[in-house]
Amino acid sequence: MKIGILGGGQLARMLALAGYPLGLDFVVLEPAKDACAAPLAVHLQADYDDPDALRLLAQQTDLVTYEFESVPASAVEQLGAELPVYPPASALATARDRNNEKTLFRELGIETAPFAEVHDLASLQQAVNSLGLPAILKTRTLGYDGKGQQVIRPGDDLAAAWDAIGAVPAILEGLVKFDREVSIIAVRSVSGELAFYPLAENRHQEGILHQSICLREDSHQPLAQDYARRVLERLDYVGVLAIEFFQVGEHLLANEMAPRVHNSGHWSIEGAETSQFENHLRAILDLPLGSASPVGHAAMLNLIGTLPDRQALLALENAHLHLYGKAPRPGRKIGHLTFRESSREKLGTRLAQANKLL
Ligand code: AMP
């Protein structure tokens, strides 16, 4: 069976790595020549909306999935007429637009930070009047890893903030004083089977995910699962879905969702009975889902910008190194490390050792 993937980055690479033991083959559509999934798949090198390449992809595969949410709607439409495309187009349309996703959360009774739509300087002024400052202005689309965002503090020039995000449709959000940032990875198969991974606690550096720790038996797990279930069922979702939350006391405020395998779930390769990558494939193929239960105490550290000494990283006990085959560049995710330990204390020690090397 052949799976098509729109996008040929590290997520596609790790999907392929998880899929080969299941007897699957992969074709990726990806414009970059040196795509890191290319060594593991047939590589169609073309733009995501190239109709000829999309036709070829549909001819060569049994179903299609994707590794990023800003897939052109026209590509999903063309492919969807030929073969199954998962997760569904409605999930893409929701997740690629911050206003749509926050509106969906609100409709489903899922708490969010207070927010308002912004489409010009006058509506920004109105949003500031109603939400107050400090607040954070975010582009509705194409924002990730803290890009397309501007914090506005009392006394700041609103016109400058509006220009800084490119004067494009946006939302203004109240700045949340959160206790922690957490995320849940949830899965739903074609026939509606569900699985939920334990929450991960996420720490960012300069807007980029740095560390995720799998939280075993966290008191917020039932609420996160309930929220994820509402989204999965409303969207008739198929595949892995990630939802990121701000935790404030007992509350979880949904910040954003990603209709794909997610960086905060990479720990699951070694730290769960079945990885998020394998379960995404099982879900879209309507195979029984694997257990999402944690194995030991696991955490993931991203390798960003430069590759530390590989010898030193692998000398750390219980270190599992995943390199994506990408050239180092500032701010670029080039790999990750996972640690799995028998206790939370040992995990803490290992993370401290590893962080010294990064
Ligand atoms: P995002 O692109 O929405 O995931 O935002 C990137 C990071 O900025 C988040 O992981 C938070 O650390 C921070 N952030 C985003 N929105 C807010 C908010 N409303 N309040 C406080 N921090 C935020």
- At residue 146, the pLDDT reads 63
The model's pLDDT over 171-187, given as tens digits with 9 standing for 90+, comes to 999 999 999 999 999 99
Same fold for the pair 2-85 and 114-174 = no
- At residue 320, the pLDDT reads 98
Alpha carbon of 43 to ligand 1 centroid (Å): 34
Mean pLDDT of 18-40: 97
Kindly report the average pLDDT of the chain as a whole number: 96
Mean pLDDT of 299-326: 96
Q: How far is CA 153 from CA 124, 132, 205, in A?
A: 13, 9, 21
Mean pLDDT of 88-103: 95
Q: What pLDDT band is residue 231 in, cutting at 50, 70 and 90?
A: very high
Was domain 114-174 assigned CATH 3.30.1490.20?
yes
Q: What pLDDT band is residue 207 in, cutting at 50, 70 and 90?
A: confident
In a 3-state reduction of DSSP, which class is residue 7? Answer: coil
- φ/ψ (deg, to 5) at 28: -110, 140
Task: Extract long-range pairs of 344-353: CB within 8 Å, 24+ residues apart.
Answer: 344/297, 346/297, 347/213, 347/297, 347/298, 347/299, 350/299, 350/316, 350/317, 350/318, 350/319, 351/211, 351/213, 351/299, 351/301, 353/316
The model's pLDDT over 143-156, given as tens digits with 9 standing for 90+, comes to 766 678 999 999 99
Least confident of 71-80, 234-243, 339-348: 71-80
- At residue 292, the pLDDT reads 98
Atom of ligand 1 nearest to the CA of 147: 2
- How far is the C-alpha of 252 from the C-alpha of 259, rounded, in Å? 19
Q: Where are the alpha helices (DSSP H) in the chain?
A: 10-19, 51-60, 73-80, 89-95, 98-107, 121-131, 158-164, 221-234, 268-271, 276-284, 310-315, 344-357
Q: Which two three-digit tokens encode residue 346? A: 């040992």
If one residue of 255, 257, 263 were mutated to test the ligand 1 pocket, choosing by the most ligand atoms within 8 A of its CB, it would be: 255
- φ/ψ (deg, to 5) at 159: -65, -40
- At residue 206, the pLDDT reads 87
- Our separate counts of H helices and E strands in the chain read 12, 17
| Residue 159: pLDDT over 70 | yes
155: left (phi over 0), alpha (psi -120 to 50) or beta: left
| Residue 48: pLDDT over 90 | yes
- At residue 144, the pLDDT reads 63
The model's pLDDT over 324-358, given as tens digits with 9 standing for 90+, comes to 999 999 999 999 999 999 999 999 999 999 999 99
Q: Which two three-digit tokens encode residue 76? A: 């999903």
Tell me, using a 6 A CB cutoff, whether residue 143 lines ligand 1.
yes
Token pair 């999402």 is found at 292
Atom of ligand 1 nearest to the CA of 138: 3
Q: What pLDDT band is residue 70 in, cutting at 50, 70 and 90?
A: confident
CB atoms closer than 10 angstroms to residue 39:
11
Tell me, using a 6 A CB cutoff, whether residue 148 lines ligand 1.
no
- How far is the C-alpha of 332 from the C-alpha of 305, rounded, in Å? 5
- φ/ψ (deg, to 5) at 107: -60, -35
Domain boundaries, the chain: 2-85, 114-174, 180-357
Alpha carbon of 14 to ligand 1 centroid (Å): 26
Q: What pLDDT band is residue 59 in, cutting at 50, 70 and 90?
A: very high
Q: Which of 71, 68, 72, 10 is nearest to 41 (CA)?
A: 10
Tell me, using a 6 A CB cutoff, whether residue 173 lines ligand 1.
yes
Tell me, using a 6 A CB cutoff, whether residue 39 lines ligand 1.
no
What CATH homologous superfamily does 180-357 map to? ATP-grasp fold, B domain (3.30.470.20)
Was domain 2-85 assigned CATH 3.40.50.20?
yes
- At residue 125, the pLDDT reads 98
- φ/ψ (deg, to 5) at 261: -60, 150
Q: Which of 94, 256, 73 is nearest to 181 (CA)?
A: 256
Q: What pLDDT band is residue 275 in, cutting at 50, 70 and 90?
A: very high
